[in-house]
Amino acid sequence: MKTQWRYSCLPVAVMAAALAASPAFAQAVDTARIEAAGQNDWLTYHGSYKSYHYSPLAQINANNVANLSIAWIHIPGRSTRGLQSMPLVADGVLYYTGSYSRVFALNGATGEVIWSYFPELDEALIARQTHSPYNRGAAIGEGKVFVGTMDGRLIGLDMKTGKVAWDTKLIDSQKLTVGFTGAPLYAKGTVIIGAQGGEWPGRGPIFAVDAATGQKKWEFLTVAGTDEAMKTWGSDSWRTGGGGGWMPGTYDPETNTVLWGTANPAPLYDWSGSDYKTQGARPGDNLYTSSVLGLDIDTGKLKFFHQELPHDAWDFDSAVGEFVMLDRDGQKFVVHPNKSGYIFVYDRSLGLKNVWRITENSNFVKNIDPKTGELIGRRDFKAGKVDEALCPHISGGVSFNSGSYNPRTGLYYKLGQEWCMTLDVMKTTPVTAPQVQLNIGADFKIAPPPGGEIYGHLDARDPVTGAKKWEVRFPEPPLASVLSTAGNLVFVPDSRGTIHAYDAETGTELWNHSDGTGHQGGIISYSAGGKQYIAVTAGFGGMASDDYAPTFGGVYKSMPRDDGALIVYSLK
């Protein structure tokens, strides 16, 4: 491994700035601090355990956002397939990851590098993986930065120096051909991370590791993780069922529960038709794929769950998205978007309270019962070409990136994607030796919705009822996260490379700026040295964005697929 600690190379003034921002002078990052979500920081992937993706900072606001300009830029290098990371900030130090699980600690005011860490990786293994080499972020806690790697390791780095504190192997990636692309979650002395790979014939584990020592504490299998769940996989299909929990969930301190979403089963497209309970590659409901889980953080024991899509035959899994914790009229809600474009509303024990839809073009089911969660009029396919295009496209009615809830407006700002695809379902056999292989079970191609064009939209909605207040449309679906702030602003980084700021109450565009390449990662706000900043990752490439050049042409034809940058804005 290669660790670079650069204090000794910095000029005196820069070194002083770096030290002033150093966590050596800061309060420790622990569960209580993340729960409190201090306004100057961004301490976990979703901003806090409430998953608001909201900043209470208001120095940048609707009255002065027109004066926003670039403060500094950091180029991480080797950004193969762009950047998808969500930055973190503690005490003026910004931490973020690049492709190949690289980690950077930067002075949040100046962008000067404090340290960087490039893990040694098996390049031949990485080259075999489909979902690589991007990384979606890190976690911080107990004086460490935690990052997962594509070769199945979870690594703890010293926050001050970037030196390795521990390096724990969790997955046999040589055998399973998957690792970690998602960010970990830190809470209560524990680091939780889920494996990628719904379409691979494994069992999709979620791991918990001791934050101090790196020792594994527990493991939960998202495929047939209990005896009851195993009964929902006919013909021993649980052995190759897929699953995984490839995006970070959150922690509910009130119930001592980790909330986590899980991926689709394998093969991705089954050929059982309407006989899916007894026929096809994986007969049954296939618990706990395409579900939301509540796991005891101390033991990993399953406390409660809801399967959003029983026997998911469309790759609209539940691993995407945030768990927005709301208190309203004496009730406690959890809002969780499903990749299908349906938004599920729960109580804190994942009891269903409502279901609403953010997309217009959706035909994989006719509807989902908002009281019971039952899929009404579901489409299950036999082998062969599907006559009517399937909506939404495999990339989803919503992206893996997060929306934002603003407690000042009471609105949930979320991107919806209007697109469909042709589909030709094929019977496949899982390949498990000597190395497991991707098991899709179909050919497909992006297609416009019936009678219309592909587009995306930012909606401002009531998070519980789904009532829409306003909408902004985009010619191509944006793929990045959304940020709202107490300055009455909503920031949207779009796929063409422009970052937009909208009035949070009306949707009126107040400012925009080109970052020169498409966005598909995170955006945050923080304060360093008394000044507010907006930080966004730019760099295009990956499973969804690979379709943009052949589908939309235009600017996407020349857009690089191996560049990226962290761009930070402040007021002039």
Which 3 state secondary structure label does DSSP give 32?
helix
Distance CA 379, CA 513 (A): 42
Name the catalytic one among 91, 285, 312, 315. Answer: 315
**DSSP of 495-552, one letter per residue?**
TTSEEEEEETTT--EEEEEE-SS---S-EEEEEETTEEEEEEEE---STTGGGHHHHH
SS3 101: helix
Burial class for 557, CB neighbours closer than 10 Å (0-12, 13-18, 19+): exposed
Q: Report residue 27 as tokens.
A: 């309060």
Query: H/E element holding 404?
Result: strand 404-406
> Residue 98 in 3-state DSSP?
strand
Write down the residue that tokens 């929902």 correspond to. Answer: 232
424 is catalytic: no
| Terminal Cα-to-Cα distance of the chain (whole angstroms) | 40
**DSSP label of 275:** G
Q: Distances from the Cα of 210 to the Cαs of 159, 215, 526, in angstroms?
A: 17, 5, 28
What is the DSSP code (8-state) at residue 242? B
The two tokens of residue 316 are 């609209």
Q: Which two tokens stand for residue 260?
A: 């986590």
Beta strands in 108-189, from DSSP E residues, in sequence order: 113-118, 139-141, 144-148, 153-158, 164-169, 185-187
Q: Which structure tokens are listed for 482?
A: 């959304």
Residues taking part in catalysis? 315
